[in-house]
Structure 1
């Protein structure tokens, strides 16, 4: 039997004229409503088209399948989150540790504010999480955060800073997904935010104080099979 092919998640084309731009905007808004109401497992392009008041054919001009539409919603959500974090991590008149703390707390607040959408996107994430466009977006996010980690960790090598940036984003995504699944209250999410910020700030501050030779040695120990 031929191997199963993963569906393409790239958009079919991008709108250029104002009418087409508005149609795509209407489709995306409708997709969010359907996703929140129906969840990722019952999300279909037919339901989105009906919600947006457009034909399925019009939707397919821009999104070839439900996976591409869901990935666009996820990408927009990622873009907003990383833009917020980038702004906070590069805010003037604050130490790197203060900026990191603000970014972590803000991240968890957005998790709570958008819990319904995040939960639905998490349900649908298996459709595209390991697809090349998703991996490319993550690499782009890492590149955008690299200057902050270079500032906070001047003694560390580029490889160590990249590892710690990946570690930080993985911790945030993993913990954020868990607290979204549990439907915690705002007060409970604030506690998770503060404690996660404490952990990350303490760890990165320790690495920042470590002499470069010790940092390189620790990398060698981790890479030893």
Structure 2
């Protein structure tokens, strides 16, 4: 059962001054998560870093969880904007698209390793909300559509299991690899190794 946490914006910023205030709050929240982790992520500290009073924070966000979801949403939105065109590209060369996708995913994870690590810890509460699960579902469905087109026909009979396996493997591998902050060359090499394994296992066409 999803948990009832109010993570909806209390007010949508429309005027230039209000938009600037919200941007400052989001930037401050992102900085605190990246530099100090979830333990330092409080409404008061975010407001102080943003240079606004606490009343301005609560004018837009009912709690720190709402800001956390907003930051998560923006972060995942940027990721999907980079990954979606790769997986939805027309053409039969699915192996090449998978390679491009995994490389790009690894590079994204590496570029945002600190904020991603903080979000991974801080988002535990959000995982039980309908809004958070909708974000997860969007990425899952994107991957599922691609895998359904890419794998050998006899591999699609257990599609949901295979998609779960691929998503879990790629995300876990990317997290463990990028946590060590490797060079770009090493990152690409590991992404390609994982891609080769998946191409062979699922007989992905090229």
TM-score band by shorter chain is: 0.7 to 0.9
The answer for the alignment partner of 2:28 in structure 1 is 30
Does residue 77 in structure 1 map to residue 75 in structure 2?
A: yes
RMSD: 2.6
- TM-score, length-normalised on structure 2? 0.84
Q: In the superposition, relative to structure 1, how do residues 88 and 115 fare at CA in structure 2: closer, same or farther (>3 Å)?
A: same
Matches within 5 A, 1:44-193: 44-92=42-90, 95-153=93-151, 155=153, 160-193=158-191
Structure 2: 5+ residue runs without aligned partners?
A: none
The answer for the alignment partner of 1:216 in structure 2 is none
Separation in structure 1 between the aligned mates of residue 126 and residue 200 of structure 2, nearest angstrom: 34
Separation in structure 1 between the aligned mates of residue 154 and residue 24 of structure 2, nearest angstrom: 47
Separation in structure 1 between the aligned mates of residue 19 and residue 157 of structure 2, nearest angstrom: 41
- Quick check: 1:118–1:180 contact (8 Å CA) kept in 2? no
Q: Secondary structure at the match of 1:194?
A: helix
- TM-score, length-normalised on structure 1? 0.77
**CA deviation after TM superposition for structure 1 residue 108, in Å:** 0.3
> Could you tell which deviates more after superposition, 155-164 or 178-187?
155-164
**CA deviation after TM superposition for structure 1 residue 124, in Å:** 1.3
Number of residues paired by the alignment? 203
Separation in structure 2 between the aligned mates of residue 117 and residue 50 of structure 1, nearest angstrom: 20
Whichever of the two has the greater Rg, that structure is 1
